[in-house]
């Protein structure tokens, strides 16, 4: 009997996930999203349905995996070359690199975008996926996305990105002039809005501090009455 122990064949988890993502995006380019079944994706990826389930619980989760894959490509390519540039130029560069990473999947993404417009609930779920990606894109550009104001900026970027994608889907020019012009316009418009938000945030800072102090010291009406006029409350209770 041989001392060697047979090792069963297995695919690396990362490889399986990538094959599923690639297969789903190819199918999305070929047929309506609603008609694509999990079994078809598994067959295209040459894996079993059990292996699919072990990697992702749904098609929506595969889309989130695709988004993370694109995030990783962009973040790995981020350098400090634009450190001296304006925040708008840095974000422009990051988002253009994101479009470059998404280019091989353009047809599938166009079809998925059309599906999302037909399904509002799914569009809301996809908004959360894009929100997470844009958070990392902002960080890669050296922009803060934390706090109440950061959240507003982040959601604004998500909306602007959606408008840029609509132009990108229709832009077949390799130079992507129309797409770059739209991205530049959206970032310029967003910059003006953010500047106004920053001004309002600074102006209202004293009011927020004052309001916070009032709320932190707030006690119920009954508590204050009991402390200041205990006899009155006791007498009032006796009349009931």
Q: Return phi, psi of residue 6, to 5°.
A: -70, 135
First to last CA, the chain: 94
Residue 13 has pLDDT above 80, yes or no: no
Please provide residue 11's backbone torsions phi and psi, each rounded to the nearest 5 degrees: -95, 140
| Pair 153, 88: CB distance under 8 Å | no
- Mean pLDDT value of segment 133-160: 87
Over residues 40-87, the pLDDT tens digits come to 999 999 999 999 999 999 999 999 999 999 999 999 987 777 677 888
Averaged pLDDT, 140-144: 88
DSSP symbols for 144-202: ---HHHHHHHHHHHHHHHHHHHHHHHH---TT-HHHHHHHHHHHHHHHHHHHHHHHHHH
Question: What would the pLDDT profile of 174-185 be if each residue is shown by its tens digit?
Answer: 999 999 999 999
164 falls in which pLDDT band (50, 70, 90)?
very high
Residue 102 has pLDDT above 70, yes or no: yes
Grade residue 88 by pLDDT with cuts at 50, 70 and 90.
confident
What residues does each domain of the chain span? 59-171+182-198
pLDDT at 207: 47
Confidence (pLDDT) at 173:
93
Quote the DSSP letter at residue 84: T
Side-chain half-sphere exposure of 90, counting CA atoms within 13 A? 19
Q: Nearest-5° angle of CA 115, CA 116, CA 122?
A: 120
- What pLDDT digit, counting tens, does each position of 208-222 carry? 454 454 445 455 545
In this predicted structure, the answer to whether residue 93 has a pLDDT above a threshold of 60 is: yes
Whose tokens are 């997470």? That residue is 132
């Amino acid at each position: 009997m041989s001392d060697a122990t047979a090792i069963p064949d297995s695919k690396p988890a990362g490889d399986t996930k990538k094959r599923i993502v690639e297969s789903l995006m190819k199918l999305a380019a070929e047929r309506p999203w609603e008609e694509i079944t999990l079994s078809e994706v598994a067959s295209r990826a040459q894996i079993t349905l059990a292996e699919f389930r072990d990697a992702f619980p749904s098609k929506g989760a595969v889309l989130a995996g695709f988004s993370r894959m694109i995030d990783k490509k962009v973040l790995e390519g981020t350098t400090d070359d634009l450190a001296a540039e304006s925040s708008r130029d840095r974000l422009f560069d990051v988002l253009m690199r994101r479009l470059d990473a998404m280019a091989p999947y353009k047809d599938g993404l166009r079809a998925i975008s059309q599906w999302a417009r037909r399904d509002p609930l799914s569009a809301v779920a996809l908004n959360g996926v894009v929100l997470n990606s844009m958070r990392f894109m902002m960080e890669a550009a050296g922009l803060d996305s934390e706090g109440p104001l950061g959240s507003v900026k982040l959601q604004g970027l998500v909306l602007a990105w959606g408008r840029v994608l609509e132009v990108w889907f229709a832009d077949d020019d390799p130079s992507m002039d129309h797409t770059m012009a739209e991205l530049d316009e959206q970032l310029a418009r967003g910059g003006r809005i953010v500047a106004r938000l920053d001004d309002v945030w600074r102006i209202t800072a004293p009011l927020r501090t004052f309001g916070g102090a009032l709320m932190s010291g707030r006690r119920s009406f009954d508590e204050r009455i009991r402390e200041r006029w205990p006899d009155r409350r006791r007498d009032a209770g006796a009349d009931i």
